[in-house]
């Protein structure tokens, strides 16, 4: 199933990099940890990084009810949410053709406030599980007060597109004979050793979903 073809999200430059099927878009969203939210206040654009979650064909962001960004978006203004994964450096023989392998998604639309307390609670589960699957079952769940202090916004993944660059550099034909190493240097997100909280209770082992955490296929 595809997203709505829109002049606002159609990939124009290097259009063969554009993708509009939900499977591709969802996979990129589910791998990313943060999105960049763009909104306009008095003509000035702002771009703010924040966590998010996806459920079906909707994307959700959340934050303090006191947040300037969330209060602004909740009024139903136009928003652009962009997610980017970096996959590698593309090292061409010419400076001009250097590039980055990446997968990105751009979604535009109007965000709406989620007001229902039950739905908000389910969404806080989704935020936690988006960050680290397996965590929700172990932690203290939000109180009524915490739910009130949290604003959640919903953006339909409808006017959306993905853009992907992968594979070898594309050099000019006459440059292929150059004695310059060319190729791709893959980059990916890796975990370090878990650092226990200084106030951790004695005898608690690192859970498997933490020690085995992987954000991607590598």
To a copy of itself, the closest distance from the beta carbon of 48 in angstroms equals: 7
Nearer to a copy of itself, 1 or 95 (CB): 95
Quick check: 143 and 76 in contact, CB under 8 A?
Answer: no
CA distance 148 to 171: 55
What is the length of the chain? Answer: 218
- Closest C-alpha among 32, 9, 34, 24 to residue 160: 9
Nearer to a copy of itself, 26 or 85 (CB): 85
To a copy of itself, the closest distance from the beta carbon of 113 in angstroms equals: 18
SS3 state of residue 26: helix
CA distance 16 to 142: 45
Nearer to a copy of itself, 1 or 185 (CB): 185
Nearer to a copy of itself, 86 or 113 (CB): 86
To a copy of itself, the closest distance from the beta carbon of 58 in angstroms equals: 19
The secondary element (H helix, E strand) that includes residue 41 is strand 34-41
Integer angstrom CA distances of residue 68 from 36, 43, 65, 170: 15, 16, 8, 44
Nearer to a copy of itself, 118 or 190 (CB): 190
To a copy of itself, the closest distance from the beta carbon of 66 in angstroms equals: 7
To a copy of itself, the closest distance from the beta carbon of 56 in angstroms equals: 21
Quick check: 38 and 83 in contact, CB under 8 A?
Answer: no
């Amino acid at each position: 199933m595809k997203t709505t073809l829109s002049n606002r999200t159609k990939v124009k430059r290097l259009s063969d990099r554009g993708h509009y099927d939900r499977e591709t878009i969802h996979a990129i969203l589910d791998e990313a940890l943060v999105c960049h939210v763009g909104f306009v206040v008095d003509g000035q654009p702002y771009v703010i990084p924040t966590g998010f979650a996806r459920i079906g064909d909707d994307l959700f962001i959340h934050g303090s009810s006191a947040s300037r960004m969330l209060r602004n978006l909740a009024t139903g203004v136009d928003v652009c949410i962009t997610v980017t994964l970096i996959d590698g450096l593309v090292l061409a023989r010419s400076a001009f053709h250097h590039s980055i392998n990446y997968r990105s998604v751009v979604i535009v639309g109007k965000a709406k406030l989620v007001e229902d307390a039950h739905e908000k609670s389910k969404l806080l589960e989704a935020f936690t599980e988006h960050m680290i699957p397996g965590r929700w079952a172990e932690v203290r769940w939000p109180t009524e007060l915490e739910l009130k202090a949290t604003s959640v916004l919903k953006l339909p993944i409808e006017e959306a597109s993905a853009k992907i660059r992968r594979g070898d550099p594309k050099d000019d034909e006459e440059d292929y004979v150059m004695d310059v190493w060319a190729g791709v240097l893959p980059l990916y997100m890796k975990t370090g050793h878990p650092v226990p909280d200084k106030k951790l209770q004695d005898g608690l082992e690192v859970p498997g979903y933490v020690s085995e955490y992987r954000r991607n296929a590598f």
